[in-house]
Chain A
Amino acid sequence: MSDKRYVRPYGDTTGDGMVQTSFTLPIPHGPRADGAAQQLANRMGIDPAMVVHSSPIGEDFTFFVVYGSVRHLVDLDEVRVVEREYPLLSPAEVNTSVKKLLRRKFVVVGGCIGTDAHTVGIDAILNVKGFAGEKGLEYYRELRVVNLGAQVSVPDLVRSARAEKADAVLVSQVVTQRDAHVLNTQEMSAAFREAMGDRRPLLVAGGPRFDPLMAGELGVDRVFGRGTTPGEVASYLVHAVRTRRGVAA
């Protein structure tokens, strides 16, 4: 099985290439719409295509279900996937790991630094309400979250991180005028290096205009871009603790 290089979808017979798909076209229901769906399916590589269902959605749209055989072959040698260097954990798994690794709660301090008042991002990650169907870090029993909110100055952030004995500091930056997000984050990481040296907490920056490859340039441990969910951040935190421990041990 594993040395198979080319595969096609499986319906009920090896090699039949059968797929099922559904879509909506912005045209009124009728024979012409069915013909249009047929044409789209053919262009998608489904040939022969059977438009097995079509129904109107209001006066201007038609919904279709199509079954058919795709011409395409998948070349498994060409499949490239980016492997995440850490596994995605459920909240329960995060809690168990933190308990095992630290035997105390993991402290997260977060906020929007500089003049940035857009707390959408940090709140999506920290608030219980969460984002994309995932609960925020506040929901995790073994994480203690201190959300400092908007427009936190860098000295205040460092002070709070120290007072709360933060294991990780999360900053969010939405405003990008004149590269404010980059400059603010660099100022933040420099301040932590100066104040705490190697004993500084994990530094994590997030925002829609950040590129995850910028971590080095920003002086932080990790950068998260658009669409990041709380679960990804929590899983990363566990991974980072484990890695640090591993190094120390």
Chain B
Amino acid sequence: MGLLDLDPAVVARARRLAARAAEPVVSIAKAHTTVAVERATLRLAGITGADSTHRAGDVPWVNRVVDTVREHCGLEHGVALPAFHALRGGGFGSLTELAEATAAGQVRYVLPTGRDRDRAERAARTAVARGVRTVDRNRAQRDRLVARLGDPPQRPWIYLIVATGDIDEDVVQACNAARAGADVIAVIRSTGQSLLDYVPEGATHHGFAGTYATQENFRIMRAALDGVSKEVGRYVRLTNYASGLCMPEIAVLGGLQRLDMMLNDSMYGILFRDINPIRTFVDQRFSRQVHARAGIIINTGEDNYLTTADAVDAAHTVTVSQLLNEHFAHEAGLPDALLGLGHAFEINPALPDSFRLELAHALLARELFPDAPLKWMPPTKHMTGDVFGGHLLDGFFNLAGVLTGQSILLVGMMTEAVVTPLLADRDLALKNVRYVLNAAGGLAEDFRPAPDGLIVKRAHQVLGEAVDLLERIVDDGLLNAIADGTFGLMKRPADRGRGSEGVVEKAEDYVNPAAELLEAGA
């Protein structure tokens, strides 16, 4: 550690600025709720399933209930009190029966008062606590399995993506990938799921360039990986995406089905999916609280900035975003060990010294966040149909990963941006990783960049630019900086974007037992 000789005062200053930039946004997040947070609460309380008789196709019961409560008495008090009051008052046997009756138009939701209110609150807390206990049990079960089967024998952990669109095919591919050496399996979601304001139901078999994230798909894949974990003698982790309009619900489903990692970025949805900034920050805070409870490692999405902006010019925006993601994560209760902060190998290979610059950026992230399981993302922007050149570039990416002590390595494919990887492409990519790990896995021990060399100087420069940018963000306000196109070149005003209609300012007497339990960590 300490190869870059970063000034601790500058690092502390960067963190202080990130905290100050984030502060107003955290206040906004605390003062609001969203339809997705309320739906996630009901999912924790035990509502599952969907209304299959609706003319628009399957509508999850949580959507029916939350929409109806909002219509009848607003969401500013939270969904829990009206829902649990109606549950008791209508003599329904379960929340699902209540949901069915809601869909049939037989329930009139009101905000209970006095003793009714106390009773509803107690019932809601009991139900939600049951869901939280399931999340806790899953976390304990993961710990037991890791203790019994073991973690991967090496760092970085090898992270592979499957994406067939059909959960059954995904299972076959994931198990084969694990046997071939993958430590982490990510199931990419169907294109556009992030923009759906509901979570699809059941096992699914026809996604677009990915497979829908559903509770049942989560269960199927986790069960399959538990099987293959025993076979390969190490705990194989499962990743999905808590992003988009249903971030909090996906987080809950991940906790209920023992997922191990979740893509969860503080700004990705805003910048790349044009989701309303307030909606994103509210949803993100709740989802990260759930992840903290579930012991799920988040993966942030800084790699995406470098696919739009230039990887050298915008290197400091990655650092700024990492610092912001770190602060938001800490604020939501996530410890360093669960912060898979992202960064990527995206510098134009035609640029002189491109590899040295990559090392500088990667080492900077490593030294700024020594205890975080950093996620190292492979080249995509400069991958072309020249698969041979791409394979070499991936080799250098792997080398940079081991040399700078990255924690989670997303395996680069030479067919990136060409075709969905063939079986042989994936095998060659894994061989590439294994070769580099075997040949140079311990090279970090001998790697001492010259104190006045290009790598050290570049790292200092990027950190300095990051501090300057953070100062500007503190002066402008983070929401204004996002509106002005500071990150990934996208301009996203706070009052625009998808899902803004789902944001509700909390009333004084807002009640959410899930938020309370998660906040207290009890």
Chain A residues with CB under 8 Å of B489's CB are 139, 141
A133 touches B416 (CB 8 A): yes
Known: A63-B427, A139-B489. A123 touches B192 (CB 8 A): yes
Closest to A56 in B: B427
Closest to A61 in B: B423
| In the assembled complex, A58 has its CB within 8 A of some CB on chain B | yes
Interface size class of B (residues with CB under 8 A): 20 to 34
| In the assembled complex, A57 has its CB within 8 A of some CB on chain B | yes
Complex Cα gap A124–B209 (Å)? 11
Chain A residues with CB under 8 Å of B422's CB are 24
- Tell me which residues from 183 to 214 in chain B have a Cβ below 8 Å from any Cβ of chain A: 191-192, 195, 208
Complex Cα gap A138–B383 (Å)? 22
Chain B residues with CB under 8 Å of A228's CB are none
Question: Chain A interface mostly helix, strand, loop or mixed?
Answer: mixed
Closest to A145 in B: B274
Chain B residues with CB under 8 Å of A63's CB are 424, 427-428
Closest chain A CB from B421 CB (angstroms): 12
Chain A residues with CB under 8 Å of B416's CB are 133
Complex Cα gap A123–B208 (Å)? 12
A119 touches B308 (CB 8 A): no
B179 touches A58 (CB 8 A): yes
| In the assembled complex, A71 has its CB within 8 A of some CB on chain B | no
B424 touches A149 (CB 8 A): no
Chain A residues with CB under 8 Å of B192's CB are 119-120, 123-124
| In the assembled complex, A181 has its CB within 8 A of some CB on chain B | no
Complex Cα gap A139–B491 (Å)? 10
Closest chain A CB from B204 CB (angstroms): 14
| In the assembled complex, A105 has its CB within 8 A of some CB on chain B | no
Complex Cα gap A119–B416 (Å)? 24
CB 8 Å contact bits of B290-308 with A (1 = contact, 0 = none): 0000000000000000011
Chain B residues with CB under 8 Å of A149's CB are 498
Complex Cα gap A58–B231 (Å)? 14
Residue among B176, B195, B272, B417 making CB contact with A58, cutoff 8 Å: B176
Residue among B272, B424, B427, B428 making CB contact with A127, cutoff 8 Å: B272
Complex Cα gap A210–B417 (Å)? 24
Closest to B418 in A: A133
CB 8 Å contact bits of A1-34 with B (1 = contact, 0 = none): 0000000000000000000001110000000000
| In the assembled complex, A88 has its CB within 8 A of some CB on chain B | no
Residue among B274, B307, B424, B498 making CB contact with A135, cutoff 8 Å: B307
Residue among B308, B383, B424, B498 making CB contact with A57, cutoff 8 Å: B424
Chain A residues with CB under 8 Å of B180's CB are 57-58
Known: A24-B423, A58-B180, A139-B308. A124 touches B274 (CB 8 A): no
Q: A-contacting residues of B (Cβ < 8 Å)?
A: 56, 176, 179-180, 191-192, 195, 208, 271-274, 307-308, 380, 383, 416-417, 422-424, 427-428, 488-490, 498
Q: B-contacting residues of A (Cβ < 8 Å)?
A: 22-24, 57-58, 61, 63, 117, 119-120, 123-124, 127-129, 131-133, 135, 138-139, 141, 147, 149
Known: A57-B180, A63-B424, A117-B56. 15 other contacts (CB 8 A): A22-B424, A24-B423, A24-B424, A57-B423, A57-B424, A63-B428, A119-B195, A120-B191, A123-B191, A123-B192, A127-B274, A132-B417, A133-B383, A139-B308, A147-B274
